[in-house]
Amino acid sequence: MERTLAIIKPDAVGAGNVGNILSRLQKEGFRIVHMKWIHLNQAQAEGFYQVHRMRPFFSSLVKFMTEGPVVVLALEKENAIADLRKVMGATDPAKAEPGTLRRDYAASIERNAIHGSDSAQSADYEIAYFFSTIELSGRSG
């Protein structure tokens, strides 16, 4: 089994698409290991997206990710990282395949509904950024 991180972004949350996206992920065979509904502050968003700090879109990305609540998910499945990337579709929804989450729920390349880890290294870092070991063990409650 492999784990990956997904974030249902503020645009999709605000549009009421959380249930649709969760349902699609479960239909695709992903198991939700843990899930949080949070509103990122600027420092949290900057820390999470630190890899993009020197890119021209960094400030607008941080602003977008702090404009409303997000749903953060630790997901598990065989080939979870690659499979989530396929289910999400291209970053630009206009270029995404029909039936992908971004094609169905994203408004633009900037407001693209969902984030997913792009590698095993990223998944490890991203999951640990949002979830403690206790939360991921399934014994937190």
Per-residue pLDDT reduced to its tens digit, 29-70: 999 999 999 999 999 999 999 988 998 999 999 999 999 999
Amino acid (1-letter code) at residue 90: A
CA distance 49 to 55: 10
The rounded percent of the chain whose pLDDT value lies above 90 is 88
Q: Beta-carbon neighbour count of residue 126 at 10 Å? A: 23
Pair 17, 120: CB distance under 8 Å: no
Summary mean pLDDT of the chain: 94
The catalytic residues are: 115
Q: Beta-carbon neighbour count of residue 43 at 10 Å? A: 10
For position 51, what pLDDT does the model report?
A: 87
Domain membership of residue 7 as a residue range: 2-137
Sign of CA dihedral 119, 122, 123, 124: positive
Is the per-residue pLDDT at 141 higher than 70? no
**What is the count of structural domains for the chain?**
1
Pair 9, 111: CB distance under 8 Å: yes
Pair 138, 17: CB distance under 8 Å: no
Check which CATH number belongs to the domain holding 87 and give it. 3.30.70.141
SS3 (DSSP) at 84? helix
CA distance 40 to 48: 10
For position 138, what pLDDT does the model report?
A: 61
For position 94, what pLDDT does the model report?
A: 95
Is the per-residue pLDDT at 140 higher than 80? no
Sign of CA dihedral 119, 50, 72, 67: negative
Report residue 86 as tokens: 């396929």
